[in-house]
């Protein structure tokens, strides 16, 4: 057995029991901080954002997800991702020589070598068909730095594991995504085609947020998560900003006199001075930024991204709730005021300064939800 022990295979042997477990090798960076599941990988809440144009980083491919999070895949799914041509017999299925409860049907994936570690199926391991002492024998050989017995057992189990995967794919009917998409569209109130055609956002983008849009209880946290997923940039929601409500002429306070009776004139019971009243919960503010100038201009009224954010927010909060969009421009991105076709837009991208560098971000722009 000595010729089977080669230097390149030494790192595959389990570490000695006396060695402390290390999540990373020496000199490697510490583990990345946990992130919310609704935020795409690589998103950074730093001012300015990681990508131009508010585009979030591309989602990982199924192959990358399989390599990073193999326990989230079933054996059939992992085999299909690794061999999309349907040739499951070309995959090298490996087993785990241990009896501990596995975290999933797939414990490890190596796309480059077309290799899957399936602890729940095979000859040995927690889901193996052989008696448990065979698993103990393979583990003992690995502790002696010998991989021969483990490799031999996997060779015997490789073909029938591949046939098991092929059988599962053969007798599982192909699923049509159409009914699911129609059900999700109906859940968010867009079950008929003519409604989806009138929206600025494509239906697929709205279905991505179906879990939030179908829940009629809108909240600031839900809205913030949706907008951050759309922009890939930090979003803040300021609640209870308040707003003025215009009273119709027939609903205003009027004192009685002569033949004309009064209305809504009881003090503390509906009387109001003027043609409008202040509603503390009538409006909230969506604050975006600090932004670069190109990002700021993409959020001005009339821009497609502006209409899409307004539309997405309106679908969640409803038509009655008022809100405003407040894009904040970084202090070092504020353009100088100049005349000409390419100059500043009055009231939108124009600031009068003293020539000194600004110390504060420009947060004066405020656009109502219907603009």
Task: Write the pLDDT tens digit of every residue in 284-310.
Answer: 999 998 998 888 888 889 888 889 999
20 assigned to some structural domain: no
Which pLDDT value is given to residue 174? 64
Q: Is 305 in the same domain as 334? A: yes
54 assigned to some structural domain: no
Range of the domain at 323: 231-247+273-371
pLDDT at 36 over 60: no
Residue 54 near residue 305, CB atoms below 8 Å: yes
Q: Is 242 in the same domain as 301? A: yes
Q: Is 280 in the same domain as 313? A: yes
Q: Is 237 in the same domain as 349? A: yes
Sign (positive or negative) of CA dihedral 33, 36, 37, 38: negative
- From first CA to last CA, the distance across the chain in angstroms is 78
Highest mean pLDDT among 107-121, 169-183, 214-228, 323-337: 107-121
Q: Is 149 in the same domain as 191? A: no
Cα separation, 104 vs 127, in Å, equals 11
How much is the mean pLDDT over the chain? 79
Q: What are phi and psi of 334, to 5 degrees?
A: -65, 120
Q: Is 140 in the same domain as 184? A: no
Q: Is 353 in the same domain as 317? A: yes
5 assigned to some structural domain: no
**What is the tens place of the pLDDT at every residue in 234-284?**
899 999 888 888 888 888 887 877 677 777 777 777 788 888 888 888 889
Q: Is 191 in the same domain as 158? A: no
pLDDT at 48 over 70: no
Q: Is 136 in the same domain as 205? A: no
Which pLDDT value is given to residue 175? 61
10 assigned to some structural domain: no
pLDDT band at 29 (very low <50, low <70, confident <90, very high): very low
Which pLDDT value is given to residue 236? 92
Cα separation, 17 vs 49, in Å, equals 45
Higher pLDDT, 40 or 327: 327
31 assigned to some structural domain: no
| Residues forming beta bridges with residue 235, ordered by sequence position | 288
- Would the pTM count as exceeding 0.75? no
Total number of domains in the chain: 3
39 assigned to some structural domain: no
Q: Is 131 in the same domain as 109? A: yes
State how far Cα 2 lies from the chain centre.
Answer: 51
284 assigned to some structural domain: yes
């Amino acid at each position: 057995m000595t010729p089977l022990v080669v230097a390149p295979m030494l790192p595959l042997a389990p570490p000695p029991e006396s060695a402390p477990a290390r999540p990373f090798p020496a000199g490697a960076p510490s583990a990345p901080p946990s992130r919310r599941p609704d935020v795409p990988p690589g998103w950074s809440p730093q001012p300015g954002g990681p990508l131009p144009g508010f585009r979030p980083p591309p989602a990982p491919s199924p192959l990358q997800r399989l390599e990073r999070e193999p326990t989230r895949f079933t054996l059939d799914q992992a085999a299909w991702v690794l061999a999309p041509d349907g040739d499951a017999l070309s995959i090298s299925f490996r087993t785990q020589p241990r009896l501990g409860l596995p975290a999933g049907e797939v414990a490890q994936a190596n796309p480059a070598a077309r290799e899957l570690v399936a602890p729940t199926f095979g000859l040995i391991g927690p889901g193996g068909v052989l008696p448990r002492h065979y698993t103990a024998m393979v583990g003992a050989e690995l502790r002696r730095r010998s991989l021969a017995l483990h490799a031999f057992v996997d060779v015997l189990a490789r073909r029938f594991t591949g046939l098991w995967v092929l059988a599962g794919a053969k007798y599982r009917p192909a699923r049509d995504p159409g009914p699911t998409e129609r059900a999700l569209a109906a859940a968010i109130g867009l079950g008929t085609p003519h409604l989806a055609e009138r929206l600025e956002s494509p239906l697929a983008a709205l279905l991505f947020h179906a879990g939030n849009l179908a829940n009629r209880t809108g909240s600031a946290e839900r809205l913030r998560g949706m907008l951050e997923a759309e922009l890939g940039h930090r979003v803040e929601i300021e609640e209870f900003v308040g707003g003025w409500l215009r009273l119709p002429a027939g609903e205003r306070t009027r004192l009685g006199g002569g033949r004309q009776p009064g209305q809504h004139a009881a003090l503390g019971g509906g009387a109001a001075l003027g043609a409008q009243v202040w509603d503390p919960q009538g409006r909230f503010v969506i604050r975006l930024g600090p932004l670069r100038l190109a990002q700021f201009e993409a959020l001005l009224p009339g821009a497609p991204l502006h209409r899409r954010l307004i539309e997405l927010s309106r679908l969640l909060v409803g038509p009655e709730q008022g809100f405003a969009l407040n894009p904040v421009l970084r202090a070092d991105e504020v353009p100088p005021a100049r005349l000409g076709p390419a100059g500043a837009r009055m009231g939108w991208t124009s600031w009068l300064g003293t020539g000194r560098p600004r110390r504060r971000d420009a947060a004066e722009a405020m656009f109502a939800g219907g603009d």
